[in-house]
A and B are shown apart, each in its own frame.
Chain A
């Protein structure tokens, strides 16, 4: 077998829900433990980092606001890859991954908006402005809500999988808009200061706590996503068994009537 065939085969093996449940049983505690350890280190670094010479203590909001914002986009990107998995490769777990990620992405996006608003009030003098960055992130939040509704609209998940995948891919256009909104338009929001051409503009004393907090949030996201995928696999299994139980009850009633 070629070398490229090995990851493809591993991905195909994961398509077996029973095998995925076993893997999730091992992964969830490991990821949760790593989240706690990296999170504690991140919070320690965040609260011992120097205050900003202009923003003072409010710069500490950056250590949660920026990771929430990054993960809101990372989660949607993962959902877009899952949508390709549904439409192109027809991977059995792709729709499970998409559906499980949507509520987590919605919460992370809501927290990015809320923490940004709480940071904006003392720094900008306002809770909210309809500028390009804030509005595009708000649109992302609404898209998450739409996808949550769509993936839960039918009892049979296969009926919503294709529509949700198409809607996710169409909505992916918003991700580069969010990223480059601060460059394409005049916004109150500051331009990118970490993920930018020419390297970060933040001092290492603040950059490192931010990166560690981002790692902790990413681990938290992965923990919750694998756990939610495991629940979704169980939900689908329960649904199949409930249909079988209903059919058996129907046959039994039919035999009794004869």
Chain B
């Protein structure tokens, strides 16, 4: 591999790593908040609008 090819490879590899980390963070953050919400709902904590809709206000 030529010296210049190494620069191209490094640029693409660093970009792929950065994008993968960003996608991973966005996905894990979403899963975490969804889990938090599910736990609160399972504990019976619901917003007023949801309680009113279900007739449990």
User: Roughly how many angstroms separate A64 CA and B11 CA in the complex, as a whole number?
Assistant: 8
The A-contacting residues of B in range 5-56, CB under 8 angstroms, are 5, 7-8, 10-12, 14-15, 18-19, 21-23, 25-27, 29-30, 33-34, 36-37, 40-41, 43, 45-47
Q: A122-B3, A231-B29, A238-B37 are in contact. Are A64 and B15 (CB under 8 A)?
A: yes
Q: Mark A214-258, 1 if CB is under 8 A from B, else 0.
A: 000000100010011011001101101110110010000000000
Asked whether, in the complex, the Cβ of B11 is within 8 Å of the Cβ of A234, the reply is no
Most buried by B among A56, A68, A231, A242: A231
Chain B facing A: main interface SS? helix
Number of A-B contacts (CB under 8 A): 87
Chain A facing B: main interface SS? helix
User: Roughly how many angstroms separate A205 CA and B51 CA in the complex, as a whole number?
Assistant: 60
Asked whether, in the complex, the Cβ of A231 is within 8 Å of the Cβ of B45, the reply is no
User: On chain A, which size bracket covers the interface?
Assistant: 35 or more
Q: Mark A30-68, 1 if CB is under 8 A from B, else 0.
A: 000000000000000000000000001110110011001
Question: Which residue numbers of B lie inside 8 Å of A, CB to CB?
Answer: 2-5, 7-8, 10-12, 14-15, 18-19, 21-23, 25-27, 29-30, 33-34, 36-37, 40-41, 43, 45-47
- Other A-B pairs, 6, CB within 8 Å; known A107-B18, A224-B22, A228-B29: A64-B15, A104-B22, A119-B7, A234-B30, A237-B37, A241-B37
